Amino acid sequence: MRTGVAVDLASGTAAGAAQLLVGHPFDTIKVNMQVGSADTTAMGAARRIVGTHGPLGMYRGLAAPLATVAAFNAVLFSSWGATERMLSPDGGCCPLTVGQAMLAGGLAGVPVSLLATPTELLKCRLQAQGGARPPPGMVYSLADIRAGRALFNGPLDVLRHVVRHEGGWLGAYRGLGATLLREVPGNAAYFGVYEGCKYGLARWQCIPTSELGPASLMTAGGVGGAAFWIVTYPFDVVKSRLQTQNIHALDRYHGTWDCMTRLYSAQGWQALWRGFGPCMARSVPANAVAFLAFEQVRAALSH
């Protein structure tokens, strides 16, 4: 199937919207488990969120990824599509091999990381903060800010706080290293496993991959989404910790490796997989829907 950048942009946008609407509540639970105490369970986190903020609390922090979902998935899928056309000898008419799909996915992870890091910093701060929002007109003292007691009204409020008190605009890129370690190998696995599953399902049904139905595409997408997190989940835990910590604290983490080793030393390997259950519960259906939307929109716009 021959496609262009515009088709990949539109298809990626559709995939991102579908993925976000299905998966965000599970993501909220995951982040609360990652940054909470060691005994925080998925059900406990969900009850606390709903009890404090109501059912809509499960969509807390949605504004930041919703505002950029088009750009995020447009970058991911158009980067993958561009690499697909570059690697394919016939300009993208024939599907990639699994190895080529992994290479294309890994390369797509680099620009995605540059967009994902500040977006997820805003999202994680809002998802992780406990209690009610600050009263209207509330102005926090420098002592409150340094003690990590500031609460935020929304993503723009978080961004203003980071720029003013956490190192300027570069502060929004805290956790970039961990994000790259998640996105590059993660997307290599994501697209590689997705294409591999498509080949396997097509061979089993004795049809070309272009004729696979919605159920097969959703199966391949769900397995690909699971592969992403199995490969990279500890780096996502580290990223969430780095992005939600109080940078003025004396015991703050000093980078990806410091965070990972200290978590392991203090709480064991389980700390690096905290929240994995809700993450997988989100990833499989969200990516099944995302890849179905991507393939259907891409096919419709290519004809």
Q: Is the pLDDT of residue 286 over 60?
A: yes
Q: What is the mean pLDDT of residues 129-136?
A: 58
What integer pLDDT is reported at residue 13 of this predicted model?
Answer: 81
Kindly state the percentage of the chain with pLDDT values over 70: 86
Task: Output 291 or 152, whichever has higher pLDDT.
Answer: 291
pTM for this model (two decimals): 0.81
Distance of CA 275 to the CA centre of its chain: 14
pLDDT given at position 227: 97
- Domain 5-302: assigned CATH number: 1.50.40.10
Residue-level pLDDT at 15: 85
Domain map of the chain by residue range? Answer: 5-302
pLDDT in tens, 39-86: 677 788 888 888 887 887 887 777 766 767 767 888 888 888 888 788
Residues 28-63 as b/e (b if ≥16 CB within 10 A, e otherwise) read bbbbbbbbbeeebebeebbebbeeebeeebbbbbbe
pLDDT at 92: 56
How high is the pLDDT of residue 18?
82
Instruction: Encode pLDDT of 86-99 as tens digits.
Output: 877 665 566 778 99
Q: What is the pLDDT of residue 121?
A: 92
Per-residue pLDDT tens over the stretch 27-36: 888 777 777 6
Lowest mean pLDDT among 18-27, 173-182, 276-285, 287-296: 18-27
Asked whether 278 and 286 are in contact (CB, 8 A), the reply is no
